Structure 1
C-alpha cells in the first residue's frame, strides 16, 4: 500500500493549515535547496506552497536521489 492510499500523506492543497504562512523550518530548508538549485525563494509563501516548492527543488538538487 502506498503512502497516498493509506491516508498518511495528504496533498498540500487539502491541508487545513495550508493557507497559513510557511514555517521557519520550511523557509530555512527552502533557502538551502534554492541555493543548491540556483533559484530564489518567493516571498509570502503559504505552508502548502512551501511544501510543493520543497518537493520541486529536492528533485532539482538531487537530495532525494543521494546525488547531492
Structure 2
C-alpha cells in the first residue's frame, strides 16, 4: 500500500524561484487557451504551479469528475 505524500506549498519549494519548466509552460498554455486567458511572462516554477492549479479548477481539468 502506498501512502499519499501531502502536497507541499509551492512557496516552500527549494527551487520555487527558478523559471517554470518546459512542461509547466506547455500545460499552462493549454489550460490558458481553454480558459480564455493569457499566461503572464517570466513566471517562476511556484507561480506557474499555482496558476496551473487555478486554471485546472476553472477548466475542470485535473478535478475528479471533470471533463479533462
- Measured against the shorter chain, the TM-score band is 0.7 to 0.9
Match of 2:38 among 40, 55, 63: 40
Structure 2, unmatched stretches of 5+, are none
The residue correspondences of 1:46-65 to structure 2 (distance < 5 A) are 46-65=44-63
Corresponding residue number in structure 2 for 1:27: 25
TM-score by length of 2: 0.85
Q: Show CA shifts across 1:6-29 (max 9, x none).
A: xxx210000000000000100000
Instruction: List structure 1 runs of 4+ shifted beyond 4 angstroms.
Output: none
Structure 1, unmatched stretches of 5+, are none
Corresponding residue number in structure 1 for 2:67: 67
The residue correspondences of 1:10-21 to structure 2 (distance < 5 A) are 10-21=8-19
